[in-house]
């Protein structure tokens, strides 16, 4: 995909784009960048306008000393889409980007046509030990010693040697390496720790969308997860599917935390089929207010009850009022 830049509020935002047609926004995870979507975006560009931004503080986007909350990223995404002339889009979010995608759908429902959550954060307390350890006080002060430019260069030489003997790591592992290597840059590292500590502490994920998932009943929702995800357990996918009536669940059993990298062809085909099989949500601010009023005091689906598809704009029968 072509890498471009645009200025939003005086900050440079990088994004990759390709194709024409309905707009698909692809959001990467924490410490990642839009490059994680290169292969998938290239495939989808034949049918869609693909926009994959580097979130603020990530990749080639600016890294200001400012806010890196989920809601802050959702605000910047809204303004980026406006700057690019896109009024509505289907939002696809991986890991931390899944949290941003859900927040965008919550804050700007009239602009979100579909929601796709890929190994998403914000759906349960459990998270891998590494991220919990990195959130501990003081780790950011010692981290430069374990992620220095010298170590990054040594790692890249090792990867080049492995590639030369035909032992190139799996695509998901390579994406994890690129995220780690990027943290050798001081500004990127500062933005990473501010982002991390906004959503994770030593006990696990500190931000949860579980109490609001019933609101997604009006929104076509696809959940994709790797069956071997070592960062966020696939049990979160199944529980989220249970809580969102009418949602679609796809588990890539042999994939890890990056199913879009491990199986890009299957991922692109799954996403394209989902878009073709669903009608884009069309919600006004009045519709959203009515849904919130109808859903005050709504509760999650009881355990053991399989959710039924829910027509747009109506609360599932089990939610009550």
Q: Tell me the C-alpha distance between 255 and 100, whole Å.
A: 23
DSSP 9: T
Point out the catalytic residue in the list 28, 94, 218, 257.
257
Point out the catalytic residue in the list 95, 176, 234, 247.
95
Q: Tell me the C-alpha distance between 25 and 74, whole Å.
A: 12
Residue 236 among the catalytic residues? no
Find out whether 182 and 33 touch, Cβ atoms under 8 Å.
yes
DSSP string, 229-265: -SSS-THHHHHHHHHSTT-EEEEETT--S-HHHHSHH
Point out the catalytic residue in the list 73, 229, 241, 247.
229
Query: Distance from CA of residue 43 to its chain's centroid?
Result: 19
Coil, strand or helix: which one is 53? strand
What residues contact residue 121 under an 8 Å CB cut-off, 6+ apart? Answer: 29, 30, 95, 96, 98, 99, 127, 199, 205, 207, 232
Residue 185 among the catalytic residues? no
Kindly list the distances between the CA atom of residue 230 and the CA atoms of 117, 136, 225, in Å, as whole numbers in the listed order.
17, 20, 11
Residue 257 among the catalytic residues? yes
What residues contact residue 203 under an 8 Å CB cut-off, 6+ apart? Answer: 125, 132
Strand partners, 17: 2, 51
Handedness of CA 26, 32, 35, 37 (dihedral sign): negative
Find out whether 204 and 126 touch, Cβ atoms under 8 Å.
yes
The tokens for 227 are 């069956």
Find out whether 313 and 279 touch, Cβ atoms under 8 Å.
no
Strand partners, 12: 7
Residues acting as catalytic residues: 95, 229, 257
């Amino acid at each position: 995909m072509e890498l471009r830049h645009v200025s939003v509020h005086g900050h440079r935002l990088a994004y990759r784009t390709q194709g024409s047609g309905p707009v698909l926004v692809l959001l990467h995870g924490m410490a990642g960048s839009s490059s994680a979507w290169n292969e998938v975006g290239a495939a989808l560009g034949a049918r869609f306008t693909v926009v994959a931004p580097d979130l603020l503080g990530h990749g080639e986007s600016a890294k200001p000393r400012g806010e890196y909350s989920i809601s802050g990223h959702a605000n910047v995404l809204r303004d980026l889409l406006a700057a690019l002339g896109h009024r509505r889009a289907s939002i696809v979010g991986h890991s931390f980007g899944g949290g941003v995608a859900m927040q965008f759908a919550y804050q700007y429902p009239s602009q979100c046509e579909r929601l796709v959550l890929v190994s998403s954060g914000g759906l349960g307390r459990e998270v891998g030990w590494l991220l919990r350890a990195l959130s501990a006080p003081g780790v950011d002060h010692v981290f430069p010693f374990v992620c220095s430019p010298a170590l990054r260069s040594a790692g890249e030489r090792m990867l080049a040697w492995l590639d030369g003997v035909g032992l190139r790591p799996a695509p998901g592992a390579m994406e994890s390496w690129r995220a780690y290597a990027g943290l050798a840059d001081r500004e990127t590292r500062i933005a990473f720790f501010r982002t991390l500590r906004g959503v994770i502490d030593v006990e696990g994920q500190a931000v949860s969308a579980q109490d609001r998932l019933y609101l997604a009943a009006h929104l076509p929702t696809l959940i994709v997860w790797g069956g071997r995800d070592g960062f966020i357990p696939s049990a979160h996918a199944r529980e989220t599917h249970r809580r969102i009536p009418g949602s679609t669940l796809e588990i890539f059993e042999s994939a890890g935390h990056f199913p879009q990298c491990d199986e890009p062809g299957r991922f692109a085909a799954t996403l394209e089929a989902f878009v073709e099989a669903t009608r884009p949500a069309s919600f006004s601010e009045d519709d959203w207010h009515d849904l919130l009023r109808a859903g005050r005091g709504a509760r999650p689906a009881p355990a053991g009850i399989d959710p039924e598809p829910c027509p747009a704009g109506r609360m599932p029968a089990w939610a009550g009022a």
